[in-house]
Amino acid sequence: MTVAEPEFAAEPEVVTCHGLLFDMDGTIIDSTEAVVKNWQKIGRQIGVDPEVILATSHGRRSIDVLQIYEPKLANWDYIREVEGVLPKEFGADAVEIPGSRALLEQIDQRSIPWCIVTSGTRPLVTGWLDVLNLAHPQNLVTAEDVKIGKPDPACYALGASKLKLPKANPSILVFEDAPAGVRSGKAAGFRVVGLATTHSIEELIDAGADWIVRDMTSVRLEDWDETTGEARIAIHNALTRSKN
């Protein structure tokens, strides 16, 4: 039996929102190779097979991963130190997700409220943004800012609050690649665009993504109304889903 290839050919859809929340790795950049090398180094140091660590680490905070495999290293001083040098040590192994630079520059230039919400530490995030020369948001939610990481909704709820939107119930659009992150955004009450960059389409569907796209080239800023505080985001070539 032949399994049909997923079709990314849905009709364009324009979504109105007041703020945008972005995951980092797998959404804005792809630092998979760098992260793999970093966990391989840590795995050798603590005597744990790096493949075992890598099977459960994507989209999760390092402190939560180390709490499982080496609790004595599960502290912010150690994690900030390790993650702070990662972009400098393995910077050549990271690339931007297609379309992310253009979108971030557009929303940043128009002063549209946006925030990065990530499982990485602040030194890691700012390090990657500097190395790849990407726009820095005014607001960041990093691993140190919440007690529980994704899929708990606290990080995305905090990200939305940092935008200080005047609306009582603002419309928020989340961009995520990891199922845990999709679940986090949905649990916070937001619509989520899932990027099929690191996980299977089935995993993103199961997590509840409202749209699934190949990468950020499918997401475009159509308009920004400063008076109403509404951005119009066009989603092109999303996954075509059965209506059955």
Return d(Cα 95, Cα 132) in angstroms, integer: 8
3 state DSSP class of 160 = helix
Q: Where are the domains of the chain?
A: 13-29+95-235, 32-93
At which residue do the structure tokens 């999709």 appear?
Answer: 182
The CATH superfamily of 13-29+95-235 is HAD superfamily/HAD-like (3.40.50.1000)
**74 Cβ partners below 8 Å, 6+ apart?**
63, 64, 66, 67
Return d(Cα 27, Cα 23) in angstroms, integer: 6
Residue 100 near residue 1, CB atoms below 8 Å: no
pTM for the structure as a whole: 0.92
Q: Which residue among the candidates 23, 30, 210, 215 is catalytic per the annotation?
A: 23
- 25 flagged as catalytic: yes
Classify domain 32-93 at the CATH topology level.
DNA polymerase; domain 1 (1.10.150)
- pLDDT per residue of the chain (244 residues) written in tens, 0 to 9: 445 678 999 999 999 999 999 999 999 999 999 999 999 999 999 999 999 999 888 778 999 999 999 999 999 999 999 999 999 999 999 999 999 999 999 999 999 999 999 999 999 999 999 999 999 999 999 999 999 999 999 999 999 999 999 888 899 999 999 999 999 999 999 999 999 999 999 999 999 999 999 999 999 999 999 999 999 999 999 999 865 4
